[in-house]
A and B are shown apart, each in its own frame.
Chain A
């Protein structure tokens, strides 16, 4: 972080950013806030690597015959895109950046329970990430991010082992982060911060952490088995060696389906904070939202078989997994209805974070409803492995998780950096992203129903119009993502100085300075109220409504 908030030298307070500028103070930091910044820089790098691959693919698909790249290159591109986006962007994104930064602040703790483990998680992530990206770029991997056997274990002639080794290492970082969050939330809550006074952000991250800790070891073992079969020809997955190829799919999806919830639950966490703040209302149905997060985490472990309805799974398994998959819809719907109800009779601001949060609800609703098509057996057989599924999971992961991440980044940017983001540019880019996203991915639902298979380097000519629309959308989306990159960097030097609590939000993180001091709170907070008392806020704090940019003199005080 090259730039820090500007104050006249005499009254410059010590913050987690300015207490030391030495490189060592960053690389060996045990401060959860600095580790969050390290993660933020790294996942941004990986996001743009993965995004670049997507742009080349969409350009290539402008014509049915695909003239831009060769088939082998195309196969490496979608593998690069999938592996980087799933394992090195989406999974760490909100938990490792915003969760890392905010959970100790939100529960009134000085740091996470295991600061060294937190730092170690970043090193595992970086070594894994670089290992995988080098393998994916230099020479490449052509298996797709799903590494289906026996293609990945026997037939592919690419750097599968190195890519898998990278994912294996990054898995540890995910486990460390989850473990840290669970212990922190159990042991380090401030006096008065009971479980049901915790912000919903923490509840969702608790649910996410459970998945990370329980599911990640399974994919790690599975991927090691792929390496063992690839290197030593031990018969595990390849039938010609006596293995079972579908076994891999069971083990892979036992992690990778819950992993979808690792990606989207933290998105729900962010949205549950933004909506009450900008509607100035206590969130509707707090405990229903909290328990629906836990329910999603639990049900998420029971639905992996819906990835194998056409894989040779027995008809009876398919029936059970279909029924269980539908069950995930209930807690998801409950959340959407509660967020919407929170808006009722609120005082609704259209600030940038709110635009992202409302966009999230709309896109997540569409992603969730199309998920019902996929859980419906008769329909899934037709749309399985087509662009329909591509569109569906991009609505959840990009329309859901990425929109929420960007919303959260705007929301907490003043707290993280001490600077305000430019509001007008923020709104513009939120609209561009919403538009570009829908134009990119909505046509893919239609392409999928037409039957266009995923991972195709060329396609029948009658599908060109929809592909061109999708590629046009992708170019708009790319602009939408570059804009925040630009103005966030700009704001570090030229943005307005952020007050302690620019949105008059509740929540402990808004009671400490922006950016917070190294130890988070000058005076350890004592909690007496629930997390979303927007009904009490104004009178209780006795502070007038202050325009953005002014400072509120409540620094370090205990929450009333």
Chain B
């Protein structure tokens, strides 16, 4: 029996150490499940059956699968990223939930290099154990914390559970909203996700409720790694508020290379959703070997008037990122925001940005994207601002700044601006520069070392975005940036 736990790696891990088990797709216990590689209608039926899903869910999956399997339906090629073609028939589309017994029994069994990476990031001991895959029942504190929070949520009437549970326990809500923002035929990866999605988070905030805590997948310990095709759905009913945190700062090595997740947000009248992401998955080694392909479709719909959706992301991981968290501003006076820090180092590639689709009157959107390129990294900001004829008085402000560290990297800005209403105002500005020699000189003259001076300047460059993050997250993000940039200067 092969054992495969969620491992944590540092950036210095060599490809030899990883390649032995680093292949396309899931590494599952084949003996136990006897689930074949590849995708077919039978596989989709099997996934649905394994999860004991109702008929309508299976039908939806099959519809997506049939659409996906059409010959003319191909991967998007417009992104500024390069990778060898993916063999979709060489992937396992179902993995049994991991057994806790496979993991290390205590922190003493974990690679010391990994622990060093954790301490650099300032991650608490209990969390270190969880991240390193130490069997959960060994980390009692976390469990009790999670349980306390669950009680608090229940009292407020907030539903927060895994997608599988939601399909069983709240089918009406799932059926109503699943695919309402990202339809199954949206794009190649979203369609694939719709057919085979494994699990994910579901949250529903009832009318007028301000969610008492910031929702984190962290609190659903047993579903910590819900697989490569995650599906998340958050519905904020009238006048409610929720802040959702995704990911963590630890250098997480996912057990699979291709990740095609879908996140859907729905904000009803007067509701507000704040979605923050820290993504630090395995970026591949220094030679560009391996690393996660993060092909994610994230979209929110401001369905009601005066609603607001805000995306904040700090992206430092993954070999390739293809991700455009978007907002459809349908309700009048609704607000969409996108704040992003993306960092590429070594051979990482990122093509990321946002889409703001203005439909309702007096809708407003703000885009602030900061890109940092180092090593041989290539980074593209690609963003669409579309102002439909109905969007009277719509306003958009976009600012994209890129910082280049080293002369082998690239920073690209590709905005798409489509204006069909003359009363709309849209402004876009972007700059690209390197770390200023004058600023470096100034800091060094005051006794700051060259590496620290770089970090200070880069941190200042991202400050505006970090301020959008919840406090603890912001501290971690800043630390993460520092760790990710190590060795690029000096």
- State whether these chains interact: no
